[in-house]
């Protein structure tokens, strides 16, 4: 089981939304955002959270969960 869940990650991302329209309204959006961030970490970007985890995707999920990553839409 994934911890935090998709629902929890969506809630964290949408808390900082200005207006009535949520930034993230599907699991796909969360997956794409964390995958892009994981690729940045693999390519040498510094993690934004202190963690003992060494897997890029897990670090990216934790960054989203802690609100360190802001997801913006193309619209």
Question: Could you read off the pLDDT of 6-29 as tens digits, one per residue?
Answer: 788 888 887 876 666 777 778 888
Q: Using the 8-state DSSP alphabet, how is residue 28 labeled? A: H
Structure tokens, 31: 């997956």
The answer to whether 60 and 31 are in contact (CB under 8 A) is: no
**Domain locations along the chain:** 6-65
Question: Could you read off the pLDDT of 22-50 as tens digits, one per residue?
Answer: 777 788 888 888 999 999 999 999 999 99
CA distance 44 to 33: 17
Q: In terms of Cα–Cα distance, which of 14, 71, 72 is closest to 60? A: 71
Instruction: Give yes or no for residue 70 having a pLDDT over 60.
Output: yes
């Amino acid at each position: 089981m994934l911890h935090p869940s998709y629902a929890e990650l969506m809630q964290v991302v949408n808390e900082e939304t200005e207006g009535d329209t949520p930034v993230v309204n599907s699991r796909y959006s969360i997956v794409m955002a964390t995958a892009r961030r994981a690729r940045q970490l693999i390519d040498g970007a510094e993690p934004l959270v202190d963690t003992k985890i060494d897997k890029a995707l897990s670090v990216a999920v934790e960054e989203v969960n802690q609100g360190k990553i802001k997801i913006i839409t193309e619209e």
